[in-house]
Every structure is written in C-alpha cells, then in structure tokens.
Amino acid sequence: MKLAGRKTNTIIILSIFTALFIYPIVAVVSISISHVEDIYTFGYRIIPKSISWDAYKYIFASPQQLFSSYRVSIIVTVLGTLLGLLIMSMLAFSLSRKNFKFKRPLTYFVFFTIIFNPGLVPWYINIAQTLGMKNTYLALIVPYLVWGWFTMLLRTFFASIPEELFESCEMDGANQFTVFFRITLPLSKPALASVGLLMMLRYWNDWFLGLLYINNTELMPLQLWLYNIMVNIEEMSRVAADAGVIETINFPSESARMAMAVLAAGPILLVLPFFQKYFVKGITVGSIKG
Amino acid sequence: MNVKVKILLGVTLIFFLLAMPVFSVGQQETSAREGVKEIAQIKWALRINPESGEADVEAAMNEILGSKLGINVDILPLSKGEFTQKLNLMMAAGDALDVTFISSQSWGGNFYQVVSKGGLLPLDDLLNEYGQGIKDQIPAKYWEAVKVNGSIMGVPNYQILARSNGFRVQERFLDKYGYDIAEWTKLEDIEPFLQDVKDNEPKNVIPWFLTKTGIWASVLHYYQLDEVADAKTPGVIRFNDMSFTVINQFATPEFEEHVQLMHKWYKAGFIQKDAAVITDMAGVAKTGNVVAEWGNHKPGDSADLKARNGGFDIAVQVLDTPYVNTNSVVVTLSGIVRQSENPEKAMQFINEINTNKELYNLAIFGLEGINYNKIDANRIELIENSGWFPNAAWGMGSQFNAYLIGNQPDDVWEQTIELNESAKASPLLGFVFDPSMMKSELTNVLSVYDSYAPALITGTADPDELLPEFIEKLNEAGAEKIIVEMQKQLDIWVDSK
C-alpha cells in the first residue's frame, strides 16, 4: 500500500516534469503551423486556431538549397564526429599510459589549449590563409576536431581501466594498436558515446565556421542557412522601405522562425534516444577517478 | 635537462613548419598579380545574398569597366547575417579586398570602429584626383558628415538623407470620422481623432501603435533637439543653440512632456497594452489594424506604406523640419579598404558606379531581358526569381541613377534631391562622439535606459513616479560624466572649425 503510494507520487512528479519539457517542443511545432495573422491577433497558442503551412512553404521554396545544406551538415557532422573521436581517443590513450615518455609535455600542450585560445583573427588567418581551407569541407571539420576538454575527459576514463589488463595483453603479444582498438575502445563506450554526442551537437549546431570560412552557397551548412533566412525575414520590411520596393509577399515571420527550429532540431532529436543509455553513464565520466 | 631542450627544439621546429606556407603563399600571390597588371582586380564587398546570376552581371559590368578604366570587378556577396563579422575579420586578416559597403548603424560594418582601427583609407586626395564626378554630385555640407578627424573616410551612397517625421494615418478612418490631417500641427492635435476611433471601432483596432522602442528617437527633432551620439545616449543640443551646450535629453521638459502625453494616451486606451514588450512592428501593421503611428516620411513612399498596412491607404502629415545629421549620412557608405593594392583604381570604380547610369543599374537590377524588362526609357519591371536582384540599391551607389520600379512616382528622385538640398543641416554635421573614454559609463547608462525607458516612452508607466527615478539612476550610472566628456570633445571640435 505504502509502496504503491510512493509509486503514484513518482509517476505524478515525473509526469509534471515530462510535461514541462515537452510543452516547449509542442509549442514550437504548433506555432510553426499556425496562421501568422492568428499569432498577431491571438498570441501564441498551443493548439493552432487554423493550420497553415506557409512557413514551411516559404522555407521549402528553394528545396535545392535546403537539401544541399542538409547534406553538408550531415557530412560534416558524421565525418567530424568520427574523425574527431578517433584522433582525440588516440591522443587521450597516449596521455593515459603511464609508460609514455612525452606524457607530461603533451598533457601540458593539450591543457594549454583549454585555458588559452589564439583569438579570432589569428585563427582566421591560420585556417583561411595559411592552411588555405576557405570554401572547403575541411574548414567546417578541422577546426573542431580536437577539444582539449574532451581529450582530458577521455584520458581520465582510459586511465580508470586497470593497468593490469594492458600488461596481460602485452604479455600475450599485443602491440599498442591492438590494445587500443581491441581493449580500450570497447571498454570505453560510455565515454566515447557522450563525447561523440557532444561533438555531434557541436558540429550540427555550428554556423560560425560556415560564417567565417564559407562563401559558396553549395557548402553552406544548415544552421548557417537557416540563420541567414531568419536575418532576411527580420530585415525584409526595413530594406523594402529603404530600397523603394514594395514587398507585397506576406512573410510568415513568426511561424517561420519556429518552423526553422523544427527543421534544425529534427534530426538531432531522432538521434538522441539511441545515445541515451550511454549518455546517462557518461555524465559521471571523469568524476569517478578523483 | 637534455629532454627539455629537445622538446623546445621540437616545438620551435613545428612552429616553423606551420609558418612556412604563409611565406610561400604570399609570394605566389604577388607573382600572379604582377602577371595581369594591365587589368586591375577590384574586389567589392556588399551586404547582399549570394545569387545565381552574379557571374553574368559581373561579366556585363566588366565589359563596361574593362575597356573604359581597365578594371575587373569581382563582387563579394556577404549575406546580412554575416556581413559585419566577416568584413571586419577580412580587414583584420588582410584578405584581398578593395571596396566595401559600410555603415555606422545596424546595416553593418561598424564604420567608426573600422576607421579608428585604420581599416579604411582616407579618400580626400583620391577624390580630388579620380572622384570629381561623385564629389560634385553630393552637396559640400554632406561631405562634412563623413569626415573623421578631418579626413573623408567614405563616399556616401547618395540617396534620401533628410529625415522628416510625422503622422501616418489610415485614410479610411480619417474619412469615416471627418478629420483633415493637414490641420494637425502638434502631436496633441490627433487626440480627438484617436478618441473617436477608440470609442467606435472594435477592440482589435489599435488607435496609436507603439513598439518597445517608442517614438522618442524620431520625435527628438520635433522637440527641436539634436542628438550628439544617439537618442538613447544622454547628450543633446537644442536647435539653433550656437553655444553648443550639451544637455541630458531625459531631464528636459520636452521629454517629460512627451512621456506625460504618451501616458495620457495609454490611460485613455489609445496605445495597445503590450506596447512596452512588442518589438515587431511590421507584423502587426500588416493586419491593417494600426490606425495611426509616427514615422519617417520620404518622397514616393505612399505605395510602401500602403503595402505595409495591409493594403489600406495612408495619409502622411510631416510635423518636423526636414533635417540631416551625421547619423543620416553615414548610414550607407562606400569605403576603400586599407589593404587595397589599387586604391586609385578603386576610387575610379567608386566614381564610375556613382555616375555611370548603365553600370549602376546593371549592379542593382541585373541584365535587361533576363532580370528585368523595360517598360519605358526610365521605368522597369522586375522578372521574379531570375537570379539577380540584390535589393540593395541603397548600398551600392547614388540611388538617383536608378531606374524606377513599382509605384515610384516619375519625379521621385528629383523630389528627393530637392528635399536633401533644402533640408536643414545639423550644426553638428561631421562631429562624432568618441566613446572610448566612457565605455563603462555608456554601458551602464544603456542598461538603465533599457530597464526604464520602454515603460516610460510607451506610456505604460506613470512618469510622475518613474521619471525622477529614471533620471536619478541615469546620473548614478554616469550620465553627467558622459555629458561633460561630450561637451569637452564638442568644444574642441567647434574650436577647430
């Protein structure tokens, strides 16, 4: 009896929290399909008064650009996350090994980048001019490949794997690559998944790299493109007046904003549940070893 | 010890390896440029979206430019959201760039910041030598406005400069209640009309529409005040005050009068209840429920206003004197970037785009028959989605060379030029307040403004309670210091003239 009571309490509390989290998402979706005039007349509503697809129509007006931006974002996210994970975990693995000769200077080198960054202009000069990556996929991937912070996180996790395990492997004749790929990585799935998820979000949500290094619309990532559309909508009325041009098109500005949020968040929302089981474990990564 | 030395050597080596390409790339570029010395490359940064027709338009422009001036122009479209950041970064990094659109205001570029960092070349000599055409086009008094520390730093994209504010009222309501807008000469004169609308129209009709920003910035001139920095920053002078005494506009009787009036209207129900939080003007106006508002008027804007207000005709009554101050000139300029390798050619290009009608219309409308059709000699019709319509004629050159489109009256440019030339020029034209000494005070004052002003200028709050507190908080935040500093800078500027 008592137990059942506690259970109901838990269910009620969790339901309230679930509702709190789901409400904004539902609101965003329903605003995105609301009629703009309704929004101005009645304000935001959770159940649209009348449904209109104007916002999506406006965004889908140039589907080529939408698809090419999706393609760019997906390529960058997948490649960037995989490559980044590989490089960072290899680096972290080296740092975690007690018998690695340059452990201290290399750790210092990684740690240094967490605390200091070179500033925007040298960074830009380096990527755009020295490395000549402007208007290539590389410019969207390379700058975010290695994060000092994630590397440290992985290193701590790797270091928590008992040293004896490595020793016994080496005794059986495994070289460092075998130890890394066959032993360390499979044991570190939670850490890799959480770092991978964060990397993925970082790549997916990034528009800044595109803004800095991409002039070519074919290489424009999704977030940058959506950001540009939004700025355009906001400005439409201002520019129209100044250019002496009549913009008779009714821009669904409020609902378009939400439609963009839906489009931008959609794929990542779908990916998230698959990471969940690792992610919960991953949250405590790094805190285990004091 | 030995290990440390080795590491140090290693790190140094890596740095050198990384730096090597810098030198080699630099060399390649210069040698490539020397090869094509006859035709000068001019890279032109604009605040426009990339479009598919760019290559064709450039080719047509280069046909004109190449034979006449030996210039090959390359447009660099930077879309609105990225313009400022990208431009400032390219300037700092020394990327290849010659001419750029730049503005002191929200249109992008941060003109004054760029100038103070030395990002733009002074143009006085270049203008005299290569820019006679554009120099004669713009009245001398307006060249004063683009001077920073005595040198011209940008060429205005000449267009409507005069600001003249007044009522905009839907004609259908004027007719319905039998009012003549021409009789209104003061803000208060509109009151009986607003009362009638309020009493007889349904609830969703808004008699007097205000957003969070209110209309304080655009009634400044109506109250015979001229801003030293901008309307939000404490510091104005009175019109015709030849002693140039800087005062705090929020402590003036005019400000009190204004907020009292707005509060009265708010209490009477003329102003919508959510005015203090609303930021989006256009969306609400489009519903056609906005009866009256206050705004800037320019020749030939009746069609724009009609479209903006859901297709209802708008009557306009200008209440203040047409006025030009520094802010209204530096809003859109063309500048030559410091790293330009061909400043002479760049100036020739600016001069040409401002004086060559064919070239300018190519840039703003594209190619005849592909991007637009001619209706008569001077009027065109756009072809939609044809790959080139940057919609930024105001950012590319002298707008008075543009073909007419839409409902623009035939003489819209003549009217505008006349308005510009007859407008009253602010005595502060060319004075620019240097905020570098007052950074923290300005930030504090602005945050005080943001927390108090919306409630006051939309009439939402009672000025009797809030205004004294607002002024006190402003002074605590450093308003008086700012005014003293402004006065100091202004006195130096006046003496130098």
Burial of B310 (0-12, 13-18, 19+ CB in 10 A): middle
Q: What is the 3-state secondary structure (H, E, C) of chain A?
A: CHHHHHHHHHHHHHHHHHHHHHHHHHHHHHHHCECHHHHHHHCCCCCCCCECCHHHHHHCCCHHHHHHHHHHHHHHHHHHHHHHHHHHHHHHHHHHCCCCCCHHHHHHHHHHHHHCCCCHHHHHHHHHHHCCCCCCHHHHHHHHCCCHHHHHHHHHHHHCCCHHHHHHHHHCCCCHHHHHHHHHHHHCHHHHHHHHHHHHHHHHCCCHHHHHHCCCHHHCCHHHHHHHHHHHHHHHHHHHHHHCCCCCCCCCHHHHHHHHHHHHHHHHHHHHHHHHHHHHHHHCCCCCCC
> Quick check: B412 contacting A, CB < 8 Å?
yes
> Quick check: B283 contacting A, CB < 8 Å?
yes
Examine the domain organization and report whether B40 and B147 are in the same domain. Answer: yes
Say what the pLDDT of residue B32 is.
Answer: 43
- State both tokens at A220: 């424009």
How many other CB atoms are found less than 10 A from the CB of residue B81?
A: 23
Q: What residues of B are in contact with residue A227 (Cβ under 8 Å)? A: 81
Examine the domain organization and report whether B107 and B54 are in the same domain. Answer: yes
Confidence band for B264, pLDDT divided at 50, 70 and 90: very high
Task: Supply the CATH number for residue B109's domain.
Answer: 3.40.190.10
A198 vs chain B: nearest CA distance in angstroms?
Answer: 25
Is the Cβ pair A254, B301 closer than 8 Å?
A: no
Confidence band for A250, pLDDT divided at 50, 70 and 90: low
Examine the domain organization and report whether B19 and B73 are in the same domain. Answer: no
Domain with B64, as residue range(s), is 36-159+329-425
Is the Cβ pair B92, A124 closer than 8 Å?
A: yes
State the DSSP code for B166.
Answer: E
Residue B363: which H helix or E strand, with range?
A: helix B357-365
Mean pLDDT, chain B, integer:
86
Cα-only R_g, chain A: 24
Interface test with B, best of A207, A245, A253 (most B CBs within 10 A): A245
B355: in domain = yes
Say what the pLDDT of residue B349 is.
Answer: 93
Q: How many domains does chain B have?
A: 2
**Statement: residue A290 has pLDDT above 50:** no
Examine the domain organization and report whether B17 and B98 are in the same domain. Answer: no
B285: in domain = no
Say what the pLDDT of residue B28 is.
Answer: 42
B393 vs chain A: nearest CA distance in angstroms?
Answer: 6
Examine the domain organization and report whether B42 and B105 are in the same domain. Answer: yes
Examine the domain organization and report whether B29 and B74 are in the same domain. Answer: no
The percentage of residues in chain B with a pLDDT greater than 70, rounded to a whole number, is: 93
Is the Cβ pair A130, B407 closer than 8 Å?
A: no
Examine the domain organization and report whether B48 and B139 are in the same domain. Answer: yes
Q: What residues of A are in contact with residue B392 (Cβ under 8 Å)? A: 239, 243
User: B379-382 and B372-376 as β-strands: parallel, antiparallel, unpaired?
Assistant: antiparallel
pLDDT tens figures, B182-231 = 899 999 999 999 999 999 988 888 999 988 888 888 898 899 888 888 88
Q: Per this entry, what is the length of chain A?
A: 290
Examine the domain organization and report whether B334 and B421 are in the same domain. Answer: yes
B363: in domain = yes
Examine the domain organization and report whether B4 and B50 are in the same domain. Answer: no
Say what the pLDDT of residue A257 is.
Answer: 80
> Quick check: B316 contacting A, CB < 8 Å?
no
A82 vs chain B: nearest CA distance in angstroms?
Answer: 25
B194: in domain = no
Nearest to B423 by CA among B218, B161, B182, B89: B161
pLDDT tens figures, A260-284 = 888 888 777 777 777 776 666 655 5
* Residues 198-257 (B) with a CB less than 8 A from some CB of A: 204
Of B425, B440, B463, the last residue of a domain is B425
The percentage of residues in chain B with a pLDDT greater than 90, rounded to a whole number, is: 38
Q: What residues of B are in contact with residue A254 (Cβ under 8 Å)? A: 280, 283
| Chain B residue with Cα closest to A217 | B50
B400 vs chain A: nearest CA distance in angstroms?
Answer: 12
Confidence band for B311, pLDDT divided at 50, 70 and 90: confident
Going from N- to C-terminal start, the domains of chain A cover 2-42, 59-283
- Assess: ipTM above 0.90: no
Q: How many CB pairs under 8 A join A and B?
A: 105
- Domain A59-283: state its class: mainly alpha
How far is Cα A217 from Cα B254, in angstroms, rounded to an integer? 51
